[in-house]
Chain A
C-alpha cells in the first residue's frame, strides 16, 4: 500500500517538504535535507524506513515541516493536506507530532470522511490529541496512546493531557476501564494500541490482545520508543497486515528491539534502532 507520514522536525526554518525519505549512515535524507534521528517524527520515519526494508515494501512518503511549538509549520502542513485531500491521497496516512489545532483538524477529519475511499488513518502524539478534541476520533482507524494519553482519551472533558483529571490515579490496572470510557464518549479510534508495561490492543469490544514479553524496564525513559512503535505498526499496516494484527506484531517487535539493545535509561532511540531489523524479522517469522 502507498503510505505517508505527516509530522514535524524540531527546526524553526525547516521548509515544508513532500518527498520519499531514506536512511543513510543513521541520518534521514529527505528531499536533499539531512536530519538526525533523536525522537519525534524523525524517529518514526527512521523506524518506518528500516521496517519497510525488512518487509520488502516501498518506504513511506513524508509530508514534513519544521515546527518548534509555535504552530506555524504545522499550519502550513495542515493547509497543504487540505489541498491534497481533493487529489489522490496515499492509502495509509500517519499523523504524528503536529500542533493541536482544532479548526484545521475539523476540516481535515470532515474532508477525509467525505472521500469515496477514505485512507486508513493512524494518529499519534499532538494530532491524536486534537483528533480526540474535535469529537471526530471515530473517523480514525488507529490511535497509539500511552497509558497517560489513554486517561486523556477517557476523560471527556480534558482538552489536553495536561488537564486530564485524576491522571496519576489511573494506573495500568485501570486500562480496561479507561478503554471502555474512551469508546463510550466516542473519543477513540476504531483500534487502540496502548503503550505501557503491558501493551494493549483494543477496540470497542474491549481489550483484544495483551503483549507483555519481553519486558525491558529501561525502555520507558528512552525518548522515541513510542515513536518507533508507531513507525512499526504503520509499516505493518502498509505491508497489508490487518490493523489489530499489525498492532500486536509491532508491540512484540518493539519489545524485542529493546531486549536486543539492552538499553540503560541514557540510551538514545538511534542506538536501539540498530536492533530493529533483527527484532522485526524474528517476530514476523514467528507470527
Chain B
C-alpha cells in the first residue's frame, strides 16, 4: 500500500525525464547538446550512438534555442565522454547543458592546499596531489564514478607533464572534475 501511495506521490510531485524516468525530487539526469547546424546534430547522434551512449534528438528548450531547431539529449554523467567523442570527430557544439536547470554551471572555483613538499588541488569532488620536487602525481582522491579508480591507476606515479590528460581516458562528470583539477594544478606548477 505504501509503495502504491509512493508511486502516486511520484506521479503528482515528480517530473518525467525524457527517458520516462520519474523522480520525486524533480532532478533530471540528462544533458542537452546544442549545435549551430542540423548536419552536426545528425553526425553527433550517429557517433554517440555508435559509441554506446544513450542519445536521442529533441527540440531544444526555447530559452536556449540559438542555433538549429534540433538538439541531442544524453545521460549527463557521460558528459566527458561525449565531449571527447565530439572533439575527436571535429564537431563543435554551441553549448552542453544539464536539462535539470539550464542555468546550472560546472564548478569553476578551485581549492588549493599546500602540504609543504606536496600540493593538492580540489575541483568539485575530485582532488589531485603532486610532489613539488618532481611534479610526480602521488595521489588522487574523492569522486564516486567508476572511472576515478581507473584514472588514478593510470596517473599516479607519473609526472604532471608526462601523464595522459584525464579527459583522454575518463568518461564521467567525476573524470571531468579531475581534468579541471589537473589543468589547474598544471597552471599553478608552471607558475
A→B interface (CB under 8 Å) = 8-11, 38-42, 67-74, 97-103, 106, 110, 113-114, 124-130, 132-136, 146, 148-149, 152, 156-165, 167-168, 185-187, 217-218, 220-226, 264-268
| CB-CB under 8 A for A100 and B29, given A69-B147, A126-B144, A162-B106 | yes
Besides A69-B171, A159-B28, 4 new A-B residue pairs in contact (Cβ under 8 A), listed by A number: A10-B146, A69-B147, A157-B27, A158-B100
Q: Is the CB of B127 within 8 A of A221?
A: yes
Residues of A within 8 A of B159 (CB): none
Alpha-carbon separation in the docked complex, A40 to B24 (Å)? 29
The interface-forming segment of B37-45, B64-72, B87-95, B118-126 is: B118-126
A121 → B minimal CB distance (Å): 16
**Contact present for B106 and A146 (CB under 8 Å):** no
Contact for B176 among A38, A157, A162, CB less than 8 A: A162
5 A-B residue pairs with CB within 8 Å = A100-B145, A146-B142, A162-B174, A167-B109, A267-B139
Task: Classify the interface of chain A: helix, strand, loop or mixed.
Answer: loop
Is A70's CB under 8 angstroms from B171's CB? yes
> Given the complex, which residues of A lie within 8 Å of B148, measured CB to CB?
39-40, 69, 97
Asked if B25 and A133 make an inter-chain contact with CB atoms under 8 angstroms apart, the answer reads yes
> Contact string, B136-154, partner A, CB cutoff 8 A, digits 1/0?
0011111111111110110
Give 4 closest A-B pairs by Cβ, nearest first.
Answer: A69-B147, A135-B24, A125-B144, A40-B149
Contact status B3-A135, CB under 8 Å:
no
* Closest beta carbon of chain A to B54's beta carbon, Å: 9
Known A-B contacts A148-B124, A156-B25; A97 and B140 likewise in contact (beta carbons under 8 Å): no
Chain B hits for A268, CB < 8 A: 139
Residues of B within 8 A of A157 (CB): 27, 100-101, 104
Residue from B2, B140, B146 in contact with A69 in the complex, judged by beta carbons closer than 8 Å: B146
Partner of B104, one of A71, A129, A135, A158: A158
Partner of A99, one of B25, B106, B120, B146: B146
Residue of chain A at shortest CB distance from B9: A135
Closest Cβ–Cβ distance, residue A81 to chain B (whole Å)? 16
The answer to whether A161 touches B124, judged by C-beta atoms less than 8 angstroms apart, is yes
Q: Point out which of A41, A97, A225, A226 has the most chain B C-beta atoms below 10 A from its C-beta.
A: A97
Contact A163 B144 (CB under 8 A): no
Q: Among the listed A100, A106, A125, A129, which residue makes an inter-chain contact with B21, where contact means beta carbons less than 8 Å apart?
A: A106
Contact B150–A68 (Cβ < 8 Å): yes
CA distance in complex: A167, B75 (Å) = 22
Residue numbers in A under 8 Å from B143 (CB-CB): 125
B contact set with A: CB distance below 8 Å? 2-3, 6-7, 10, 14, 17, 19, 21-29, 52, 75-79, 81, 98, 100-101, 104-107, 109-111, 113, 115, 117-118, 120, 122, 124-125, 127, 129, 131, 138-150, 152-153, 156, 169-177
B149 touching A39 by the CB < 8 A rule?
A: yes
Determine if B77 and A99 form an interchain contact, defined as CB atoms under 8 angstroms apart.
Answer: yes
Chain B residue nearest to A163 (CB atoms) is: B104
Say whether A152 contacts B125, CB under 8 Å: yes
A100 to chain B: closest residue by CB: B77
- The complex places the Cα of A213 from the Cα of B14 at a distance, in Å, of 43
- In the complex, the answer to whether B139 meets A69 with C-beta atoms within 8 Å is no
A residues near B174, Cβ cutoff 8 Å: 126, 161-162
**B172 partner residues in chain A, CB cutoff 8 A:** 69, 99
Contact across chains for A162 and B125 when beta carbons are under 8 A apart: yes
Asked if B29 and A135 make an inter-chain contact with CB atoms under 8 angstroms apart, the answer reads no
Are the CB atoms of B139 and A222 closer together than 8 Å?
Answer: yes
| Given A69-B146, A223-B140; A265-B118 close (CB under 8 Å) | yes
Chain B residues near A102 (CB, 8 Å)?
17, 19, 21, 23, 29
Known: A70-B81, A163-B106. A38 touches B111 (CB 8 A): no
Q: Which of B21, B77, B101, B110 contacts A160 (CB 8 A)?
A: B77
- Is B23 a contact of A266 with CB atoms below 8 Å? no
Chain B residue nearest to A129 in the complex (CB):
B144
> How many whole Å from A193's CB to the nearest CB in chain B?
15
> Could you tell me the distance between the alpha carbons of A165 and B107 in the complex, rounded to whole angstroms?
7
